[in-house]
Amino acid sequence: MQILRNARIAGVGGGVSGLLNGASIAIEDGRIAWVGLDADLPAAHSDAPTRDLEGRLVTPGLIDCHTHIVHGGDRAGEFEMRLEGASYEEIARSGHGILSTVRSTREADEEKLLALALPRVDALIAEGVTTLEIKSGYGLDVASEIRMLRVARRIGKVRRVHVVTTWLAAHALPAEYREDRVGYIREVAIAGMERAHAEGLIDAVDGFCEGMAFTRDEIATVFDRAIMLGLPVKLHAEQLSDLGGAAMAARRGALSVDHLEYLGADGIAAMAASGSVAVLLPGAFYTLRETKHPPVEALRTAGVAIALATDCNPGTSPLTSILLTMNMGATLFRMTPAECLRAVTCNAARALGLADRGVISPGAHADLAIWDIRHPAELSYRIGFNPLHARVFGGRYV
Ligand code: DI6
Ligand code: FE
């Protein structure tokens, strides 16, 4: 048992509007055992080792619920092409784009991919991230997709961060299957998923539903097999056009549907009915200089929970700052600072199907971020400033 006292706590029980001042958190065996006012600390805990937080703000450890952080290479050249006027789809269809990252990722062995990913992971950890989702999707053959997820699992062993893995073989069609889409879905997306699942490498299954990627029906085939294996699904949908992907995923109980700039009323209604979280990715919106906004107000009205994530990837969102992501959620998407905090704590946990984190309440993982600020709004208000004082990971102060 250990006590953190004299804290200002946001995120008690998932609510962040009510700040608890002069408060304590009791931690035991890596979990939160008690939270409340200093004065109300149960006598049974009173001789436990205590750390005075001197009035600092404490939030749940932050959760980045959508990343492609494991990959080879970079796409600075493509960035320059886009600045000269080429569109993301034109670049992708001409064999650059995602497929150029696939070439670099296939060339890199496990050690190399790990070494390339760790500095990006460390940047997130330095901003209070304690849970991180990592997708495959730049291998596009069974061995390379599996290698990406092995690296993802290793990150969770060599760093103090929980890693949640996602199988995203249905991300792009590799050149060797250009004439055989059905074969790719069957031999790589589905057969690879079965193999990776047998190795315990998959926590959820994703797809990219878009004109330049896969159709709703192609992804539905992968999802239906995933569900038979007991794996939850989520989807990249309605990023560049409305193909009805969100509704297809919601009908399959998707944990989340992500991007959503082009989401329409039917998709919103389907997500509200299924309880799928809307994961908004302002880094991709910003990088692509998208002008169509995700329907934040309609999602709110429908009661759809909103999360924010970096989408850290070398093409459309070379972003390794969860704090800047929160700032973009507020400034670009007009989310309130309280919504931005929920978007990277309790709602991000929900997007990963995890009920045991993202809140400061008894039974939750003792994963916390301690900040040198007074009000949680400062987390989304500042641009490029990191006020993290310390993290608590699994009950350990680091
Ligand atoms: N949407 C994205 O934002 C990433 N993947 C996806 O489906 C970007 C992929 C890339 O361009 O490398
Ligand atoms: Fe993505």
- pLDDT tens column, 60-105: 999 999 999 999 999 999 999 999 999 988 888 887 899 999 999 9
Q: In a mutational test of the pocket of ligand 1, which residue from 171, 258, 308 has the highest number of ligand atoms less than 8 Å from its CB? A: 171
What ligand has the least distance to the C-alpha of 237?
1
Give the position of tokens 């991709």: 284
- The alpha carbon of 236 and the centre of ligand 2 are apart by a number of angstroms equal to 7
Residue nearest to atom 7 of ligand 1 (CA): 208
Q: Can you give the pLDDT at residue 13?
A: 67
Give the position of tokens 């700039």: 261
- The alpha carbon of 264 and the centre of ligand 2 are apart by a number of angstroms equal to 20
**Ligand 1 atom with minimal separation from the 208 CA:** 7
> Does the CA dihedral 377-382-384-385 come out positive or negative?
negative
Q: Is 101 close to ligand 1, i.e. is its CB under 6 Å away? A: yes
Q: Can you give the pLDDT at residue 216?
A: 98
Residue nearest to atom 8 of ligand 1 (CA): 316
Q: Can you give the pLDDT at residue 17?
A: 56
- pLDDT tens for 21-58 read 999 999 999 999 999 999 999 999 889 999 999 999 99
What ligand has the least distance to the C-alpha of 137?
1
Ramachandran bin of 79, using left for φ above 0, alpha for ψ from -120 to 50, beta for the remaining angles = alpha
Q: Is 371 close to ligand 1, i.e. is its CB under 6 Å away? A: no
Q: Can you give the pLDDT at residue 15?
A: 53
Model pTM? 0.97
Q: How far apart are CA 309 and CA 244, in angstroms?
A: 22
What ligand has the least distance to the C-alpha of 79?
1
Q: Which stretches does DSSP call E strand in 233-341?
A: 234-237, 256-259, 277-280, 306-308
Q: Is 316 close to ligand 1, i.e. is its CB under 6 Å away? A: yes
Q: Report residue 11's pLDDT band, with 50, 70 and 90 as the boundaries.
A: confident
- The alpha carbon of 316 and the centre of ligand 2 are apart by a number of angstroms equal to 8
- The alpha carbon of 213 and the centre of ligand 2 are apart by a number of angstroms equal to 12
What ligand has the least distance to the C-alpha of 102?
1
- The alpha carbon of 211 and the centre of ligand 1 are apart by a number of angstroms equal to 13
**Ligand 1 atom with minimal separation from the 284 CA:** 3
- pLDDT tens for 233-282 read 999 999 999 999 999 999 999 999 999 999 999 999 999 999 999 999 99
Compute the CA torsion angle 81, 293, 164, 371 (nearest 10 deg): 100
